[in-house]
Amino acid sequence: MKINNLLSHLGIQNTNYGSCFGKDCWISTNNQHISSINPTTGETIATVEQTSNTSYKQVIGEAEKSFLKWREKPAPLRGQLIRDVGNLVRENIEPLGELIALEMGKIKREGIGEVQEVVDICEFAVGLSRQLYGLTMHSERPGHRMYEQWHPIGPTGIITAFNFPAAPWAWNAIISAVCGNTVIWKPSEVTPLTAIALQNITNEIMSDHKEKAIFNLITGTGSDIGSTLVNDKRIPLISFTGSVKTGRIVSTQVAKRLGKSILELGGNNAIIVTKDADLKLTSEAILFGSIGTTGQRCTTTRRIIAHKSIINELIETILDKYKNIKIGDPLCNTTTMGPMISQDSINKMLQAIETAKNNNGLVIYGGQQLLDLGPLFVEPVIIKMNDQIPLLYEETFAPILYIMEYNDFDEAISLQNSVPQGLSSAIFTSNLYDAETFLSTRGSDCGIANVNVGTTGAEIGGAFGGEKETGGGRESGSDAWKGYMRRQTVTINWTKKLPLSQGIDFSQKEID
Ligand code: UN1
């Protein structure tokens, strides 16, 4: 689609308001605008008015009001609204995928894949709307019944990152909404247009269902409006996706007011390749894992830990694949890798390459800036690391692949677990013992552990998140919904007696 047609199809103007609580409820207070810039060309796509203190107050006020009504709606009826959101997103999957490619530079096929995650989570949430189950326990007291039930928690704040401008919103917002909460979304200031397009979709559906302010939008920088949201006592839960550095600040600020947070922070993901791995399969997974989304996924494969007997053959197989990467316009169907998001990211990548080279690292492929293609294009880089240097403990959000070798399997696991982050991990092997050891308690310490499947591309059905500095949060499928609700333990006495628990006798008689 032509860019102008695409934008108007998704309800985006040249200049937009960034604060909204429903159809025809976009608010302007003449605040400053931020620009959404196409990383492929450096050109401004459109501008968006940032949320001011005044518009913030209005959005939160509406979200609080709407919560009181929405929480009363039976969950299966809430599911019907979510089903309609999913259907409208599905109808727009292609333009939304294109918009993501345009605004943040991942290739269109991956953009569409990301929107598919939104559709998938909507479908999951519709089923979930009839399965927000609590347990029943046996009481120790006669004639008593005990059970637990789950209630909505309140308006929830969702802060998302540029690299996945749609899916993490959905993992959080859709689940939170089906749980009976209203949602206030602050997207990355770099990708406000995808957020506006999704807000337009939820506006349409909220209006069809005679609702508003279930899905709400605020826009601006993290240090400004993001921080206001994080510190707002009226928001019992903040879900934050972003760097470890910012996550630490967010989690401290939320904890200070005894709020709850769900954190999805950095990764530093490795694939262990054993001597009997299928190298064709392995190199396919490595390619998608390392250059998909231009190496800017939190699940990106950044480290390969290969057995010394196959490392050279593995490198050859990977190089064959890297030589065929087509770098260019992410909207072009044949492109496999688009631009990076910013000059700052490129600087960090180039700096990491320098540090690696200065520390006995050998660049075996790429790493050059490709200014002919545009300001933000780079070649992905493969670096053979001979020493375990501090650089390898950091997440550099770029298409950098470090390869290192191991001798025995325990060493491989210990290298895999040596980093402070704990998001995703994988092993490629046909050895059952190695696969099971990797999955055992002395194996991978990550939230995600895959066998003969790469580190990226998690399905929505599982709980998504990681341990250690990744923050411990879980989002998306499985029972991650519990993070968006408050648990209530209920005991009912249906007798005429009042026995106390633990057998305590509290009668007013003398006790020897
Ligand atoms: C992210 O990079 O923040 O597993 C999320 C994956 C995607 C999600 C990545 N489903 O790679």
Q: Judge if the beta carbon of residue 298 lies within 6 A of ligand 1.
A: yes
Whether domain 3-265+471-488 has CATH 3.30.565.10: the reply is: no
User: Is-contact 448 299, C-beta < 8 A?
Assistant: yes
Report the topology of domain 269-461.
Answer: Aldehyde Dehydrogenase; Chain A, domain 2 (3.40.309)
- The sign one gets for the Cα dihedral 289, 291, 293, 299 is positive
Residue from 117, 121, 158, 298 whose mutation best tests the ligand 1 pocket (most atoms within 8 A of CB): 298
In order, the DSSP letters of 329-398 are -TTSTT-SB---S-HHHHHHHHHHHHHHHHTTEEEEEE--B-TTT-TT-B--EEEEE-S--GGGGS---S
Residue with tokens 């997440």: 395
The verdict on whether 25 is a catalytic residue reads no
User: Is-contact 14 47, C-beta < 8 A?
Assistant: yes
Over residues 349-365, the pLDDT tens digits come to 999 999 999 999 999 99
The verdict on whether 179 is a catalytic residue reads no
Where exactly does CATH 3.40.605.10 map onto the chain? 3-265+471-488
Q: Is it the case that residue 484 has pLDDT exceeding 80?
A: yes
Phi, psi (5° rounding) for residue 395?
-95, 110
* Nearest alpha-carbon partner for 162 in 211, 236, 103, 94: 103
Over residues 163-184, the pLDDT tens digits come to 999 999 999 999 999 999 999 9
Where exactly does CATH 3.40.309.10 map onto the chain? 269-461
Q: Which residues contact 175 (CB under 8 A, 6 or more apart)?
A: 121, 125, 128, 475, 476, 480, 481, 484
Residue from 211, 264, 469, 475 carrying the catalytic annotation: 264
Helix (H) or strand (E) holding 146: strand 144-152
User: Is-contact 281 427, C-beta < 8 A?
Assistant: no
Over residues 337-349, the pLDDT tens digits come to 999 999 999 999 9
Give pLDDT, residue 41. Answer: 97
Q: Judge if the beta carbon of residue 182 lies within 6 A of ligand 1.
A: no
- The four Cα atoms 340, 342, 347, 352 give a dihedral, to 10 degrees, of -50
Over residues 422-476, the pLDDT tens digits come to 999 999 999 999 999 999 999 999 999 999 999 999 999 999 999 999 999 999 9
User: Is-contact 213 56, C-beta < 8 A?
Assistant: no
Q: Judge if the beta carbon of residue 456 lies within 6 A of ligand 1.
A: yes
The 3-state DSSP class for residue 454 equals coil
User: Is-contact 7 72, C-beta < 8 A?
Assistant: no
Q: Is it the case that residue 511 has pLDDT exceeding 80?
A: no
